[in-house]
Amino acid sequence: MSYVVGVDAGGTGSRALAVDLEGFRLGRGASGGANPNSHPYDVAAARIAEAIALAIRDLDPADCKACVVGMAGSSKLSDPAVSKVFHDTWRELGLGCEVRVITDQEAAFASMTAEPSGTILVAGTGSIASRIENHRAARIVGGIGWLLGDEGSAYWMGREAVRTVLKLLETHVPTGELAKAVLTEALGTTVGNHQKLWSQLITAANAEQPIRLARFAPFVSAAHVAGDPVATDIVTRTADVLAAMVADTRAGDDDRSPVVMIGSVAGPESPVGVLLRERLGDLPIYFSTEGATGAVWLAAVDVLGPSAPRPSELVRG
């Protein structure tokens, strides 16, 4: 039986999906994180291979006609030495095809729509937006990491929360919901002289990896819901930043192509996500939770062309 495989390889987990050429599900597999920016190359490659092997455990590897891996950190494979580690590992699977690597954004976009063009916005710990043209990322906005950017991300929201509380502590001990949550998380207390708390908060924030500031983002959302104006300001500015990133990927004012979002900050129930959708008006908006279905559909497109059926949750009987 001919079939195709798609993989969503992220920083914390990898998921593989095998479907036949009519879109019926044949198998699933999962393994650990496989982003080559955060895991050793051989470990990342082996985890993707494990997810694929589990998805096709009841199938003949030689019958696989196409395999697409949507990978976070895929740019690492532009280094021939790194690429060799991955492809040598995957070759041991005995697939009847070469493995094609795409970005996790391309896979996430295709997971929600068969449209060839549009926008994918990732707003989680980091942030990036891409213009998709003919199923490929054509232009990127953001995605330069916490040191140089990541505006509108959970990291950015958390940093803004700490900075705002520090500013308030310059003159008094703040009593707002956000300030209390930040001080309790960072210091375990909200009691003390404002200058002492100011110094302690700076020390605590600098004692950990900068990306750990992302853990304060949920406090911003919760304090916004409670009506804290300081948190509401951060939520509003975050939505503005993300809306501008989306706007920078659009083809023009009359562009009605879909916008696909992924990540906790832009989520359906997130205050930022709700406000962001208001900013984007009546554009078709979808929220993706994983890219394996997009990757496997793009694998089917490699074999059958753009008329390839969308993957189904139905299992071949």
Annotated domain spans of the chain: 3-115+289-304, 116-257
Q: What is the Cα 71 distance to its own chain's centre?
A: 10
pTM, whole model, 2 decimals? 0.87
Predicted local distance difference test score (pLDDT) of residue 193: 93
pLDDT (0 to 100) of residue 73: 86
Query: Is residue 314 scored above 80 in pLDDT?
Result: no
Does residue 23 surpass a pLDDT of 90?
A: yes
Q: Residue 233's pLDDT is what? A: 97
| Average pLDDT over every residue of 71-93 | 94
pLDDT at 272 (0 to 100): 97
Percent helix, strand, coil in the chain (nearest 5)? 45, 20, 35
Q: Which residue has the higher pLDDT, 145 or 241?
A: 241
pLDDT of residue 289: 82
Q: What are phi and psi of 60, to 5 degrees?
A: -85, 120
- CATH topology agreement for domains 3-115+289-304 and 116-257: yes
Give CATH for domain 3-115+289-304: 3.30.420.40
| Residue ranges in the chain assigned as alpha helix (H) | 41-55, 80-91, 104-112, 145-148, 154-169, 177-187, 194-206, 217-225, 229-247, 271-279, 292-304
Q: Collect all residues with Cβ–Cβ distance below 8 Å to 207 and sequence separation of at least 6.
A: none
The pLDDT of residue 124: 87
At residue 306, φ and ψ (nearest 5 deg) are -65, -10
Give CA–CA dist 9/44, Å, rounded: 9
- Decide if domain 116-257 falls under CATH 3.30.420.40: yes
Alpha carbon distance 103, 77 (integer Å): 11
What gap in Å lies between CA 282 and CA 304, rounded to an integer?
A: 33
Please give the average per-residue pLDDT across 300-304, as a whole number. 97
pLDDT band with cut points at 50, 70 and 90 for residue 312: confident
pLDDT tier for residue 317 given thresholds of 50, 70 and 90: low
Q: In sequence order, which residues have a C-beta less than 8 Å from that of residue 93 and are 6 or more positions away? A: 49, 52, 53, 56, 61
DSSP three-state, residue 2? coil
Give the pLDDT of residue 1.
Answer: 85
pLDDT score of 315 more than 80: no
Query: How far apart, in whole angstroms, are the C-alpha atoms of residue 130 and residue 254?
Result: 18
Q: What are phi and psi of 15, to 5 degrees?
A: -130, 135
Give per-residue pLDDT as tens, 24-77. Answer: 999 999 999 999 988 999 999 999 999 999 999 999 999 999 999 999 889 899
Strand 99-103 vs strand 3-9: parallel, antiparallel, or unpaired?
Answer: unpaired
Residue in the block written with tokens 């009519």: 22
Identity of the amino acid at 277: R
**The pLDDT of residue 141:** 93
- 210-to-15, 169, 215 alpha-carbon distances in Å: 28, 21, 11
Read off the pLDDT of residues 131-159 as tens digits, 9 standing for 90 and up.
999 999 999 998 888 888 889 999 999 99
